[in-house]
Amino acid sequence: METTTIPAGNGQSGGHLYMQTNEVRNAIIHYRRGANGVLEEIERVETGGAGSGVFKPVSGQESAPNAFEGAGSVILAESNTLLFATNGGDNTVTSFRVGPHGKLKLIDRQLTGELMTGRSGTAKSLAYRPKSRTLYVLHAFGPNHLRSYKVSEDGKLKLRPERRSVNTATKTDRVSTQAVLSPDGNFLLVDILFDARPAANPDGSPKLVVANAPDPDGLVIFSVGDDGTLGEASFADAGGAGPFYVAFLHRSRDTFLNGVAVGDGVLVSRIDGHGRVTNGPLVPIDTSLGKPSELCWLQITSGNSLVLATNFGYGTVSTYRLADGRLSLLQDPANIAIPGDGTFRAVNGLVSSGPSDSWLSPDNRYFYQIFGNASVLVSYQLDKSSGKLTELGRSQIPYNSPQGLAGF
């Protein structure tokens, strides 16, 4: 329930927002978004699959936010008539029909084809290619990080036989974060956070082998055939250590941003028609609080003028100005830090609320941010001139487990 309300907006219509709880009995929470940006929970619809709950499979922590170290676990497709969601706990994917008033009706649930080897699976990120009606699902752990489905006209899922890995000949247990299709559907891009599965040092501190540091191979690119089949992996420099989140500019075929978690910043990159990537300079945020900031999730305004970057380790959001292909910090941070309950510490040692997935309304007025360790989804109003975020309200969400935001 919202703790704050504001007067109705400029007569503009609202919309709908969806988040998965990632509870052991996974469900999608459907919110109605008012014209004033405030959220109202409408329904919770079970996916039929399992989430990981508060357990974090990537690190093995008994309870921590951002369970799968990824993004894009809930997506909309086919002009917002279909919604897909991962069930990371049992490595399945669920499809829903989006009906009148945004209401969800479960269509299908299918295994990804990758077996669980522990307490939880790691299916985490989805990408949909309309041309071939292909749905790609990325797993944190391999060896088969990528699997895919053929999506029928009625939204049912049929697992395809092909599988792809983001491993190299010498790095055989890499941890991926997110899969993103280029706007023309010709390439699938995957960021790699770690070159080896996280472990613990003898003193109990995390042992992390961060990707793209120093080897410049943290971005994996697959060509995509007309039928949706993926070619062999090629490896490119992601432009910074610990690449996490790729976001293509609106109405651009070749230009994208990459948020790097250990490099503590964002850069502008381009991919040509042969899948070759060139990078601009990395623009870091202020890291005086401690490194890494774990800058991960990105949102871009529709005019490509502002970028909002979520800092998992700080519990904050930073905004950048983007002009003439160049990034510059605008507000750092842009919001007042949201405290967690004190039980979770980021890699930098700071107590954090563990912000993860975010979403920006199409009119660029409202921004929504999950703070898993604080059990809240926070609604903000974005000032497009200053880049500042003003809190509008909070929706109570399950503790630590939620992930994924998609809306229209």
- pLDDT single digits (tens) 166-219: 999 999 999 999 999 999 999 999 999 999 999 888 887 788 999 999 999 999
Q: How far apart are CA 134 and CA 155, in angstroms?
A: 11
Position 193 in a domain: yes
Position 3 in a domain: no
Is the pLDDT score of 6 beyond 60? no
Mean pLDDT over 231-248 rounds to 98
Position 209 in a domain: yes
Position 9 in a domain: no
Is the pLDDT score of 2 beyond 90? no
Strand partners, 284: 265
Task: Say how many domains are in the chain.
Answer: 1
Domain span at residue 161? 15-407
Please, how many CA atoms are within 13 Å of residue 64, restricted to the half-sphere of its CB? Answer: 19
Position 220 in a domain: yes
Look-up: residue for tokens 């401690």?
290
Position 7 in a domain: no
The CATH number given to whatever domain includes residue 146 is 2.130.10.10
pLDDT tens, residue by residue, 143-174 = 999 999 999 999 999 999 999 999 999 999 99
**82-87 and 92-98 beta bridge pairing:** antiparallel
Is 199 exposed, middle or buried (CB count within 10 Å of its CB: 0-12, 13-18, 19+)?
Answer: exposed
Give the pLDDT confidence score for residue 5 in this predicted structure: 36
Position 152 in a domain: yes
**Contact by Cβ (8 Å): 144, 163:** yes
**Contact by Cβ (8 Å): 217, 204:** no
